[in-house]
Structure 1
Amino acid sequence: MLVQGFDHFVVPVNDIVVAEDFYSQVFGGKVVKRHGLTVRSRSLGPHTFITIAGKRIGVYLQKDERGTPIAPKGTPTYSFTTTAQGLQDVIRALEEWKIKFAGPVKNTHSFAVSTIFFADPAGNNFAVYVPTVEENNRTTERLTGVGYLELEAPNLDASIKFYEQVLGFKLLERGRDAQSNKAQANMRMASGQYLILTEMPFGPKGYPMSRLIPGPHLAFYVAPAQWKDALAQLDRLGIPNGDRGEEAKGRTPGGNQGTYMDDPAGYVIQYITEGMQ
């Protein structure tokens, strides 16, 4: 597969300062870069990158409130893996923040031993779980890695086709969610990470979602040796893509700083490789 796995994500938030504090205190993250706070960079919009589980996770200031209720479980769901001790640490931090959570729930997925579900103050839904096979990456961080991803798919067939043909994910099974009875598809990446597609409307994000507009996105890793092949495949499949915000970011056309595309539901997808952000 040209796409190796899910690398990082950038989510919309309604308060950058609160998000920085929450992600630092609950996830054990560290703020590494702030953007959009100067006249020169304001065209990119205010956003912050925070290192969590060895990855740069981003929070991007929304343009509008979403107007949807906040609940511990919802879609999309972003997730992190952890240890048994790390799970307890996250629970304690959520309690200090007075954030409602569901769990720990046993065996929610075949790859998860114990999981908690919650939303950040902006309403982004998260799951933190102990995997059936714990990573041995010798990390000292509270969270050990980026886990599975669950996304809305208003047209489930179209989303399955996109992630199969474009990103090379393997369709494992189709069925229905046990609680909501909504149609679902489970897919697996080369990394072993899972993508769960749930047939439901694309929810409001408080931010215009487009490959042409710098903002929230989902990034997938492509090995440097396969970068040109990955771009060539997008051309063969007729998938519009490009490095959005080239001028604002001081980049030049034709570079290898990353390329962005839209999935059928409305998510912005980035291909990323070594040395990119």
Structure 2
Amino acid sequence: MLASTLLAEEWVNFYKAYLERNSTELEESIEVLSSRTYALLTSHSSFKARAELLRNGSLILRHETVTGVDFYSNGFAVIKTSSDYDDWRNLKKVTVTDTYYWPAALRTYNLTRQVYVIVMAMNQGNDNPELWWILNQKVDELKEALKVYVSESVTEKPLKIKPSLPPISIEPPKQPIGTLSSSGGSLSTQSTSEAPTTLKPTEVERKTLDPYTQEGILNAGVSVIPVEVTDSFIQYQVVVSMKAKNNVVTDVRISVHGTG
């Protein structure tokens, strides 16, 4: 089970802004993630993405094109993609076909809209401390909703190369080494297709794209409940609520500072 690789770039950018609590980038990145999610689910055969997936500790980048989107009950979607490139080292044409089984596809889009509304409220001046608590919960739900099952099929075919050698000449070759060309045809070690790129993932990419990374989360909310209000004094209760996830919490200490 993987975090949705077709939305990995947008998801990583949003989560980075979320960790940094950058309100401006939060708004921009969740808007992009939401619009790209909608475009993916309604594209059928026009969506192109830079897929990112973690494999054996490495980050693999691959350009994929959606070839079909089918919906089933309860917001379940099956998305098929294809990517191909020329493997000049082994002289093969490689085609990778992926099928993504996405149980919470429609819920993912719904959650991006919920997060967008929360972030907008915060940026419009709503300083209710419970908003961050709600945001933390929705982001955690969004990470779960983005998880997909992937089935991959790889086919390889020999490259069809028909080089036309230049006529014999005593002149030194003007072509760079590794390339043969003439007006009749060419043989080049450069491919017009983009082969997958392997990189070392950043810490944020590892946290967001690895479905088995379960960080401990402690969501806290504070509310003030008036008990008695008169002309000379106010009596109130401060309620602190906490919810732990992926944590074993035994002792909680709360420090309250203020005057009154």
TM range (shorter): under 0.3
Q: Which has the larger radius of gyration?
A: 2
- TM-score under structure 1 normalisation? 0.22
- TM-score under structure 2 normalisation? 0.23
